[in-house]
Amino acid sequence: MARSYFGTDGIRGRVGDFPVTPEFVLKLGWAAGRVLGQDARGKVVIGKDTRISGYMFESALEAGLSAAGMDIALLGPMPTPAIAYLTRTLHAVAGIVISASHNPYYDNGIKFFSADGVKLPDEVEAAIEARLEEPLETAEASRLGKAERVVDAAGRYIEFCKSTVPLGFSLRGMKIVVDCANGAAYQVAPAVFDELGASVVALGNEPDGLNINEGCGSTRPNALRAAVLAQDADLGVALDGDADRVVMVDRDGRLLDGDELLYIIARGRHANGGLGGGVVGTVMSNLGLERALDGLGIPFHRAPVGDRYVLEVLHREGALLGGESSGHIICLDRTTTGDGIVSALQVLAEMVSQGQGLAELAAGMTKYPQHMINVPVTERIDPQSCEPVRRAVADSESRLAGRGRVLLRPSGTEPLIRVMVEGEDPGEVRAEAELLAQAVAAACGSPPS
């Protein structure tokens, strides 16, 4: 369904550039309030990460929702999955997140959760966009919405996170470095691990509105690696700015990405008979994950890139566990959306129950080398629609002869075609990626970057 403002993860862009402006966000709040409240009074919860622009957009949304006759519950800085959880438990008609996730501070965005704590369906986003085209009509004064601050929001979410591991579960005796990315989890993440008994060393827990994701967090884990080694810690946990993603570092400083964490959780669930429906990854998930799961007899399904598509396939296959290499992991037997803290706890639960470290738990999966080249193109195009590209792909797959795979994917945000080759031999993988990039550039655009 074509949409003008909503992308795969809400509305996002540079602050001050349309549509990420206070004027637009105010009207977005009004339009969402009219659609989600179905022209009746209801409550909407609003949470945000630590970007300085969050104050401005929080006020704009509050004004727009109030004008639509909706009450507002303000959560303050809270992880995206916490907002999904509190939307459900506070019986709100919707939840709104003000965040640009792993992007720099000068970006921001707005995304929505339904009353059930899941992303809005396309048709609801389309209805909001349609309402945006109408003039803003303020509700009669007696019907304007009221706002309140939820003072125990952090405590509620901390208790929820702790409830996702077995009763009596303890991290006592374990030293954990937690990198909060100077983002939304800067208070709650260290508290969760501390209350479960761990000795916690917190990084990235001093946000100033400008330093979110800056040299820290799941997209820049070098500081976490260094701290784990310097502190002689058992492991490290790195979240992104809105804490829906996680990567981890073992005691030797080796990084484990989302594919490896997904494998650890899946193997434990499978052993206990609690997996059901297999595991869902994306077209970018490492071939090593697929083959390791196959060796355990676990079906593996691939979705397009994006957590909403992973969720769609989870529901279609009746599966409970899915995720992306980036560390966005969805445990539907625990919560409704990707949750970095909850996912880390599931991995820690496997460590405790098996009496093994991260490296030992991940040893059953061997990651295949990947090489990606971004090819600039003059316009967005499906590379597989071009006969020379199809031939080049077929030739590459023939040379790899079952020892790897090829993926060509148009970027959803830039005029690029991403050429990815994955296989057993890193030299062969690089050579095949370069040949394919040349073929794509010759047929669809300019020379590869």
Whether 337 maps to a domain, the answer reads yes
Residues 370, 420 contacting (CB under 8 angstroms): yes
Question: Is residue 117 located within the same domain as residue 63?
Answer: yes
Q: Strand 321-323 relative to strand 329-331: parallel, antiparallel, unpaired?
A: antiparallel
3-state secondary structure string across the chain:
CCCCCCECCEEEEECCCCCCCHHHHHHHHHHHHHHHCCCCCCEEEEEECCCCHHHHHHHHHHHHHHHCCCEEEEEEECCHHHHHHHHHHCCCCEEEEECCCCCCCCEEEEEEEECCCCECCHHHHHHHHHHHCCCCCCCCHHHCCCEEECCCHHHHHHHHHHHCCCCCCCCCCCEEEEECCCCCCCCHHHHHHHHCCCEEEEECCCCCCCCCCCCCCCCCCHHHHHHHHHCCCCEEEEECCCCCCEEEEECCCCEECHHHHHHHHHHHHHHCCCCCCCEEEECCCCHHHHHHHHHCCCCEEEECCCHHHHHHHHHHHCCCEEECCCCCEEECCCCCCCCHHHHHHHHHHHHHHHCCCHHHHHCCCCCCCEEEEEEEECCCCCHHHCHHHHHHHHHHHHHHCCCEEEEEEECCCCCEEEEEEEECCHHHHHHHHHHHHHHHHHHHECCCC
Which of 233, 253, 273 finishes a domain?
A: 253
Whether 449 maps to a domain, the answer reads no
Q: In whole angstroms, what is the distance from residue 239 CA to residue 341 CA? A: 8
Q: In whole angstroms, what is the distance from residue 279 CA to residue 190 CA? A: 29
Question: Is residue 174 located within the same domain as residue 132?
Answer: no
Question: Is residue 286 located within the same domain as residue 171?
Answer: no
Q: In whole angstroms, what is the distance from residue 217 CA to residue 62 CA? A: 29
* Predicted local confidence at residue 382, as pLDDT: 77
Question: Is residue 234 located within the same domain as residue 282?
Answer: no
Which of 362, 383, 403 finishes a domain?
A: 362
* Predicted local confidence at residue 2, as pLDDT: 56
Which of 298, 328, 362 finishes a domain?
A: 362
**pTM of the predicted model as reported, rounded to 2 decimal places:** 0.93
Between the two ends of the chain, the Cα-to-Cα distance in Å is: 32
Whether 31 maps to a domain, the answer reads yes
Question: Is residue 106 located within the same domain as residue 230?
Answer: no
Question: Is residue 17 located within the same domain as residue 146?
Answer: yes
Non-local (6+) Cβ contacts of 182 within 8 A are 50, 204, 205, 206, 207, 208, 211, 212, 213, 214, 216, 217, 241
3-state secondary structure string across 262-323:
HHHHHHHHHHCCCCCCCEEEECCCCHHHHHHHHHCCCCEEEECCCHHHHHHHHHHHCCCEEE
Residues 242, 183 contacting (CB under 8 angstroms): yes
Q: Strand 255-256 relative to strand 321-323: parallel, antiparallel, unpaired?
A: unpaired
- The number of CA neighbours under 13 Å toward the Cβ of 61 is 27
Cβ count within 10 A of residue 156 = 16
CATH of the domain at 47: 3.40.120.10
Question: Is residue 141 located within the same domain as residue 163?
Answer: no
| Domain total in the chain | 4
Render each residue's pLDDT in the chain as its tens digit; 449 residues. Answer: 556 899 878 999 999 999 999 999 999 999 999 999 886 789 999 999 999 999 999 999 999 999 999 999 999 999 999 999 999 999 999 999 999 999 999 999 999 999 999 999 889 999 999 999 999 999 999 999 999 999 999 999 999 999 999 999 999 999 999 999 999 999 999 999 999 999 999 999 999 999 999 999 999 999 999 999 999 999 999 999 999 999 999 999 999 999 999 999 999 999 998 888 899 999 999 999 999 999 999 999 999 988 889 999 999 999 999 999 999 999 999 999 999 999 999 999 999 999 999 999 999 999 999 999 999 987 767 787 788 899 999 999 999 988 999 999 887 667 889 999 999 999 999 999 999 999 999 888 654 44
Whether 141 maps to a domain, the answer reads yes
Question: Is residue 27 located within the same domain as residue 128?
Answer: yes
Q: In whole angstroms, what is the distance from residue 361 CA to residue 356 CA? A: 6
Whether 299 maps to a domain, the answer reads yes
Whether 4 maps to a domain, the answer reads no
CATH of the domain at 385: 3.30.310.50
Question: Is residue 342 located within the same domain as residue 383?
Answer: no
Catalytic residue of the set 53, 66, 101, 218 = 101
Question: Is residue 165 located within the same domain as residue 205?
Answer: yes
Q: In whole angstroms, what is the distance from residue 250 CA to residue 184 CA? A: 24
| Tokens coding 342 | 């909850």
Whether 5 maps to a domain, the answer reads no
Catalytic residue status for 101:
yes
Question: Is residue 146 located within the same domain as residue 260?
Answer: no
Question: Is residue 163 located within the same domain as residue 141?
Answer: no
Q: Which domain holds residue 162?
A: 156-253
Whether 6 maps to a domain, the answer reads no
